Amino acid sequence: KAGVTQTPRYLIKTRGQQVTLSCSPISGHRSVSWYQQTPGQGLQFLFEYFSETQRNKGNFPGRFSGRQFSNSRSEMNVSTLELGDSALYLCASSLVWGVHNEQFFGPGTRLTVL
């Protein structure tokens, strides 16, 4: 069974631009969560989607948004990029909603904002 895939793996953008990251969950998994990982702040929860609905949201500004499609694939979008948005963005999938279900993480998308 293929794991969680994230595209692209690396991305370089400039301040003010917007970016869209994609996540394909493990086949059969219906929940997708997104995290931001930085050296200073560590791993921080962005949001979780289940059945195309946002079920949970972390403490990030409205520039960060996401969505989930009917095939469970998910995208996250960051608008008006800032230097501080440079990070590794991780996607995780699980069978259903709720942290008691094991989350399987993808390799991440490394975003660099110049």
Partner 1 sequence: AQSVTQLDSQVPVFEEAPVELRCNYSSSVSVYLFWYVQYPNQGLQLLLKYLSGSTLVESINGFEAEFNKSQTSFHLRKPSVHISDTAEYFCAVSEGSQGNLIFGKGTKLSVKP
Residue 55 contacts residue 37 (beta carbons within 8 Å)? no
- Is the backbone peptide bond immediately before 39 cis, with ω within 30 degrees of 0? no
Instruction: In angstroms, give the least distance from the CB of 101 to partner 1.
Output: 8
Q: What is residue 83's three-state secondary structure?
A: helix
Shortest Å distance, C-beta 49 to partner 1: 12
Check residue 1 for interaction with partner 1 (CB under 8 A): no
The binding track of 70-109 with respect to partner 1, each residue x by CB under 8 A or -, is --------------------x-x----xxxx-xxxxxxx-
Binding positions for partner 1, rule: CB under 8 A: 3-4, 33, 35, 42-45, 48, 55-56, 58, 90, 92, 97-100, 102-108
